[in-house]
Amino acid sequence: MSMKKNWEMLCRFVLLAGVIAFLLKDTSFLTYATSDGKKTLDKYPSVTQTYFYATGGADTINLVALLPEDCKLTSYALSYVGDVTFHSAPTVIDDKLLYTVDAGPKDMTGTITVTAMTDNYTDIPITVNLKLSDKKQVEPGYYVDTAWIANISRIFIVLGILGLAVCRRRYMK
């Protein structure tokens, strides 16, 4: 294989990788429409919070960050099940779930379900799992940041196009 073919194949690969990454950054394909025209999520959002049993804890969860970007919110409904007690009852203010968990015996659990009612989606239940433990849960050190993928994909696309242009100009003489 000639040097021209090697460079051209490499540039095409970089361009293809950029296009694939750009296409995969959009996760809206995980929704589908119902008969009433509202979209339904394929997977509902959930959060797990662990608190030290001797002290409990307070939290604020941004609900809008857990919902699709094109979600047109109208209201929220709250429900709670479990053994965990609250010093400050769960409430939603300005699209944020606020609550304060009381101290209690370890291994107590509870679940807050916030149902987001929207104009363009069927009701979206957001599950917040609570647990009192003698150890704080450690979140995994990795996650997928779609903005990062979008930026990397743009870089790959530009590099691929520039590489193809250079290969064609250099080797097409």
pTM above 0.75, yes or no: no
Q: Distance (Å, rounded) from C-alpha 70 to C-alpha 163? A: 36
Q: Distance (Å, rounded) from C-alpha 95 to C-alpha 91? A: 10
Instruction: Please name the amino acid found at residue 106.
Output: K
pLDDT at 19: 73
Mean pLDDT for the stretch of residues 134-144: 61
Residue 161 has pLDDT above 70, yes or no: yes
- Quickly count: other Cβ atoms within 10 Å of residue 68's Cβ: 19
Choose between 121 and 170: higher pLDDT: 121
pLDDT at 31: 54
User: Looking at the domain 46-133, which fold is it?
Assistant: Immunoglobulin-like (2.60.40)
